[in-house]
Amino acid sequence: MTVDAYPLHWPHWFPRTDPAHRQRARFNRDGRPLTIADARGRVLREIGAFTRPGHTYRIDPDQVVISTDVPVRQDGLPYSGRKPPEDSGVAVYFELDGEPHVLPCDTWDRVADNMAAIAAHLGAMRGMERWGVGDLRSHFAGFTALEHNPDPDGDWPYILGVSPTAP
Protein backbone atom coordinates (compact mmCIF):
# COMPACT_ATOMS: atom_id res chain seq x y z
CA MET A 1 0.00 0.00 0.00
CA THR A 2 1.53 3.29 -1.09
CA VAL A 3 -0.05 6.37 0.46
CA ASP A 4 1.34 9.89 0.69
CA ALA A 5 1.42 11.69 4.01
CA TYR A 6 0.93 15.02 2.21
CA PRO A 7 -1.44 16.11 0.88
CA LEU A 8 -4.27 14.36 2.70
CA HIS A 9 -5.12 10.99 1.17
CA TRP A 10 -8.69 10.40 2.35
CA PRO A 11 -10.09 6.86 1.86
CA HIS A 12 -12.56 7.06 -1.04
CA TRP A 13 -15.13 4.85 0.68
CA PHE A 14 -15.33 6.83 3.94
CA PRO A 15 -17.79 9.78 4.02
CA ARG A 16 -16.48 13.26 4.79
CA THR A 17 -17.88 15.53 7.50
CA ASP A 18 -19.29 18.76 6.09
CA PRO A 19 -16.84 21.49 7.20
CA ALA A 20 -19.80 23.52 8.52
CA HIS A 21 -20.58 20.64 10.92
CA ARG A 22 -17.08 20.15 12.29
CA GLN A 23 -16.89 20.87 15.99
CA ARG A 24 -14.36 22.10 18.54
CA ALA A 25 -12.91 19.15 20.46
CA ARG A 26 -11.98 18.99 24.11
CA PHE A 27 -8.64 17.22 23.70
CA ASN A 28 -6.00 19.08 25.67
CA ARG A 29 -2.67 18.88 27.42
CA ASP A 30 -2.48 20.55 30.82
CA GLY A 31 -5.56 22.61 29.96
CA ARG A 32 -4.26 23.99 26.66
CA PRO A 33 -5.22 22.89 23.14
CA LEU A 34 -3.08 20.12 21.69
CA THR A 35 -0.41 20.92 19.15
CA ILE A 36 0.17 18.66 16.18
CA ALA A 37 3.35 17.46 17.93
CA ASP A 38 1.29 16.48 21.02
CA ALA A 39 -1.29 14.62 18.95
CA ARG A 40 1.33 13.02 16.69
CA GLY A 41 3.05 11.71 19.83
CA ARG A 42 -0.22 10.24 21.09
CA VAL A 43 -0.79 8.37 17.82
CA LEU A 44 2.76 7.01 17.77
CA ARG A 45 2.57 5.93 21.44
CA GLU A 46 -0.71 4.09 20.87
CA ILE A 47 0.72 2.37 17.81
CA GLY A 48 3.81 1.37 19.77
CA ALA A 49 1.61 -0.07 22.52
CA PHE A 50 0.25 -2.71 20.13
CA THR A 51 3.53 -4.61 20.45
CA ARG A 52 4.86 -6.02 23.69
CA PRO A 53 8.58 -5.52 24.26
CA GLY A 54 10.64 -8.30 22.69
CA HIS A 55 7.90 -9.39 20.27
CA THR A 56 7.48 -8.93 16.52
CA TYR A 57 5.70 -5.71 15.58
CA ARG A 58 1.95 -6.03 15.19
CA ILE A 59 2.05 -2.54 13.68
CA ASP A 60 5.44 -1.58 12.31
CA PRO A 61 5.89 2.08 13.35
CA ASP A 62 8.17 2.67 10.35
CA GLN A 63 5.32 1.78 7.99
CA VAL A 64 2.67 4.06 9.55
CA VAL A 65 1.52 7.00 7.41
CA ILE A 66 -0.24 9.94 9.05
CA SER A 67 -1.85 11.69 6.10
CA THR A 68 -2.97 15.33 6.47
CA ASP A 69 -2.89 18.62 4.58
CA VAL A 70 -0.02 19.71 6.83
CA PRO A 71 3.40 19.68 5.12
CA VAL A 72 5.68 16.90 6.33
CA ARG A 73 9.15 16.76 7.84
CA GLN A 74 12.04 14.72 6.42
CA ASP A 75 10.79 11.67 8.36
CA GLY A 76 7.35 11.94 6.71
CA LEU A 77 5.50 13.09 9.83
CA PRO A 78 3.46 16.32 9.83
CA TYR A 79 5.11 19.50 11.04
CA SER A 80 3.81 21.19 14.15
CA GLY A 81 3.41 24.95 14.48
CA ARG A 82 2.42 25.57 10.85
CA LYS A 83 -0.57 27.54 9.63
CA PRO A 84 -3.66 25.34 10.02
CA PRO A 85 -4.83 23.91 6.68
CA GLU A 86 -8.36 24.45 5.39
CA ASP A 87 -9.04 20.70 5.61
CA SER A 88 -8.63 19.41 9.16
CA GLY A 89 -8.98 15.76 8.14
CA VAL A 90 -6.49 13.07 9.17
CA ALA A 91 -6.13 9.50 7.93
CA VAL A 92 -3.71 7.10 9.61
CA TYR A 93 -2.64 4.17 7.42
CA PHE A 94 -0.95 1.08 8.89
CA GLU A 95 -0.77 -2.69 8.72
CA LEU A 96 -1.99 -4.66 11.73
CA ASP A 97 -0.69 -8.23 11.70
CA GLY A 98 0.02 -7.84 7.97
CA GLU A 99 -3.44 -6.51 7.03
CA PRO A 100 -3.76 -2.92 5.69
CA HIS A 101 -6.03 -0.54 7.63
CA VAL A 102 -6.89 3.13 7.70
CA LEU A 103 -8.47 5.21 10.46
CA PRO A 104 -9.85 8.49 9.09
CA CYS A 105 -11.27 11.36 11.15
CA ASP A 106 -12.51 14.81 10.18
CA THR A 107 -15.13 15.32 12.91
CA TRP A 108 -13.16 18.09 14.60
CA ASP A 109 -12.12 21.51 13.30
CA ARG A 110 -8.38 21.08 14.03
CA VAL A 111 -5.88 18.59 12.63
CA ALA A 112 -4.41 17.99 16.10
CA ASP A 113 -7.83 17.09 17.51
CA ASN A 114 -8.63 14.66 14.69
CA MET A 115 -5.23 13.06 15.23
CA ALA A 116 -5.90 12.83 18.99
CA ALA A 117 -9.28 11.23 18.29
CA ILE A 118 -7.57 8.54 16.21
CA ALA A 119 -5.08 7.96 19.04
CA ALA A 120 -7.97 7.62 21.52
CA HIS A 121 -9.69 5.18 19.17
CA LEU A 122 -6.53 3.08 18.90
CA GLY A 123 -6.34 2.99 22.71
CA ALA A 124 -9.96 1.90 22.98
CA MET A 125 -9.42 -0.86 20.41
CA ARG A 126 -6.41 -2.15 22.35
CA GLY A 127 -8.52 -2.05 25.51
CA MET A 128 -11.20 -4.28 24.00
CA GLU A 129 -8.61 -6.93 23.29
CA ARG A 130 -6.86 -6.46 26.64
CA TRP A 131 -10.12 -6.76 28.59
CA GLY A 132 -11.23 -9.84 26.65
CA VAL A 133 -14.35 -8.36 25.06
CA GLY A 134 -13.25 -8.69 21.47
CA ASP A 135 -10.41 -9.29 19.11
CA LEU A 136 -8.68 -6.64 17.04
CA ARG A 137 -9.06 -8.39 13.70
CA SER A 138 -12.86 -8.36 13.88
CA HIS A 139 -13.02 -4.80 15.23
CA PHE A 140 -10.64 -3.45 12.61
CA ALA A 141 -12.34 -5.32 9.74
CA GLY A 142 -14.44 -2.25 8.95
CA PHE A 143 -11.31 -0.14 8.59
CA THR A 144 -9.60 -2.26 5.96
CA ALA A 145 -7.72 0.01 3.58
CA LEU A 146 -9.53 -0.83 0.36
CA GLU A 147 -7.78 -0.10 -2.88
CA HIS A 148 -9.26 2.63 -5.05
CA ASN A 149 -11.70 1.36 -7.68
CA PRO A 150 -10.66 2.86 -11.03
CA ASP A 151 -14.16 2.17 -12.47
CA PRO A 152 -16.82 3.63 -10.14
CA ASP A 153 -19.61 2.70 -12.60
CA GLY A 154 -18.73 -0.96 -12.28
CA ASP A 155 -18.76 -1.10 -8.49
CA TRP A 156 -20.64 -4.34 -7.95
CA PRO A 157 -18.10 -6.67 -9.61
CA TYR A 158 -15.24 -4.82 -7.94
CA ILE A 159 -16.85 -5.12 -4.51
CA LEU A 160 -17.74 -8.78 -5.01
CA GLY A 161 -14.37 -9.57 -6.57
CA VAL A 162 -15.90 -11.19 -9.64
CA SER A 163 -15.74 -10.59 -13.36
CA PRO A 164 -18.06 -7.82 -14.66
CA THR A 165 -19.61 -10.43 -16.95
CA ALA A 166 -20.36 -12.88 -14.13
CA PRO A 167 -23.95 -14.20 -14.12
Contacts of 62 (CB under 8 A, 6+ apart): none
Query: Global pTM?
Result: 0.81
What whole-number distance in Å separates Cα of residue 64 and Cα of residue 59?
8
Question: What does the DSSP assignment read for 88-134?
Answer: --EEEEEEETTEEEEEEE-SBSSHHHHHHHHHHHHHHHHHHHHTTS-
Question: For the chain, what are the domain ranges?
Answer: 19-160
Q: How do residues 6-20 score in pLDDT, each as one tens digit? A: 999 999 999 999 999
Verify cis geometry, omega within 30 degrees of 0, for the bond prior to 100. no
Q: How do residues 28-41 score in pLDDT, each as one tens digit? A: 999 999 999 999 99
